[in-house]
Amino acid sequence: MISTDINLAVQHLNENGIIGFPTETVYGLAGNAFETEAIHKIFDVKKRPTFNPLIVHIKGIEDLEQVAQEIPPIAYELATAFWPGPLTMILKKQPHIPDLVTANQDTVAIRVPNHPVALELLKHLDFPLVAPSANPFTSISPTSAEHVENYFGNQINMVLDGGECLAGIESTIVGFDDNSVVVYRLGALALEEIEKVSGKVALLNKKKKHPVAPGMLLKHYSPKTDFILTRNVHQELEWYSDKKVGLLLFNSFLPECDSNNQIVLSEESDLQLAASRLYNAMHQLDKMNLDVILAERLPEYGLGVSINDRLERASKK
């Protein structure tokens, strides 16, 4: 059931229910971060393996020490600069965070979502919310209440409607190596923005001494339709002349193709707008009974890097 009733959402969460809720990045599937009954429901409904830890959502920086400890100074600087916002930080956990949240690790992922409905909801609760993106494991993330309803329907207590997500891709996740920043997942906060505060950051998978974060799966965000990522859609099309092809394009339509099967992310070449429309475009194309979707690689700077990361994972078999 889709509803805007925050009090009803509070009631379900207080009773260990789980709900879809809006954030500025994507919709989350939320439950009480301190109650394993609620957390188990989230893993079950999502069909998510329990080795993949969850993000804890708090209402403000004032709650940070309730969930994390031994916080390096740079983490406070980043939180001050970007919270509420699409930055998740991995920090040493407080002992009372259930092992189910952190997949038995001694770190916990934390963020403050920048969405008025999410913040209002958190203010009405006396616990933080764990919330993975509200999609079945490996499928396309949801950016509207309808996406969540279509995925889960009666399996969850309700979807709290907060409109369409403005950022449109998941938060950027960082951890810390002493006082330096390590990026675990590219996302809605561009690395260039983080580096203005922290100086140069390192990418996790390029740093051999760190284990790859659980959940940074190669195949992810995947439509059911075959999905091909290419630098040159025009050229790639030649291979699919006998197929029903859909196109996911950056800034312009291809005149030689049926315009009904094409989605342009931003005619103004606005990467922020492109990010906010990405998943909805993938959902739409996936519903069109196409043989294949060809997606165009975006420019490799700013949010273009994060969008390309999602397109790459979506195209993995």
Binding interface with ligand TXA (CB under 6 A): 23, 25-26, 28, 52-55, 86, 88, 90, 102, 105, 107-109, 113, 131-133, 170-171, 173, 184, 213-216
Q: Are 54 and 39 in contact (CB under 8 A)?
A: yes
Q: Tell me the closest approach of the beta carbon of residue 97 to ligand TXA, in angstroms.
A: 10
| Residue 280: contacted member of ligand TXA, Mg ion, none (CB under 5 to 8 Å, by partner type) | none
Q: Which residues of 159-179 are buried (b: 16+ CB within 10 A; e: fewer)?
A: bbbbeebbbbbbbbbbbbeee
CB-wise, 28 or 304, nearer to ligand TXA?
28
Q: Tell me the closest approach of the beta carbon of residue 112 to ligand TXA, in angstroms.
A: 10
CA 176 to chain centre: 20
CB-wise, 59 or 310, nearer to Mg ion?
310
Structure tokens at 268: 């103004």
Q: For residue 196, give the amino acid letter.
A: K
Q: Tell me the closest approach of the beta carbon of residue 171 to ligand TXA, in angstroms.
A: 4
| Residue 271: contacted member of ligand TXA, Mg ion, none (CB under 5 to 8 Å, by partner type) | none
Structure tokens at 43: 């893993």
| Residue 88: contacted member of Mg ion, ligand TXA, none (CB under 5 to 8 Å, by partner type) | ligand TXA
Q: How many CB atoms lie within 10 A of CB 251?
A: 15
Q: Could you write out the three-class secondary structure of 5-37?
A: CHHHHHHHHHCCCCEEECCCCCCEEEEECCCHH
CB-wise, 201 or 237, nearer to ligand TXA?
201
Q: Tell me the closest approach of the beta carbon of residue 220 to Mg ion, in angstroms.
A: 7
Site string for Mg ion, 123-152 (x = CB under 5 A): ----------x-------------------
CB-wise, 105 or 272, nearer to ligand TXA?
105
| Residue 183: contacted member of Mg ion, ligand TXA, none (CB under 5 to 8 Å, by partner type) | none
Question: With binding defined as CB under 5 A, does residue 222 bind Mg ion?
Answer: no
| Residue 89: contacted member of Mg ion, ligand TXA, none (CB under 5 to 8 Å, by partner type) | none
Of 171, 116, 130, give the one whose Cα is nearest residue 31. 130
| Residue 23: contacted member of Mg ion, ligand TXA, none (CB under 5 to 8 Å, by partner type) | ligand TXA
CA 59 to chain centre: 18
Q: Tell me the closest approach of the beta carbon of residue 29 to ligand TXA, in angstroms.
A: 8
Q: Tell me the closest approach of the beta carbon of residue 138 to ligand TXA, in angstroms.
A: 10
**Closest residue to ligand TXA, based on beta-carbon distance:** 215
**Closest residue to Mg ion, based on beta-carbon distance:** 133
Ordered alpha helix ranges (H), the chain: 6-14, 36-46, 64-67, 73-82, 99-102, 116-123, 145-152, 191-198, 233-237, 271-286, 303-315
Of 85, 142, 91, give the one whose Cα is nearest residue 111. 85
CA torsion through residues 295, 54, 107, 276, sign: positive
Cβ burial of 118 (10 Å; 0-12, 13-18, 19+) is buried
Residues in the site for Mg ion, rule: CB under 5 A? 133
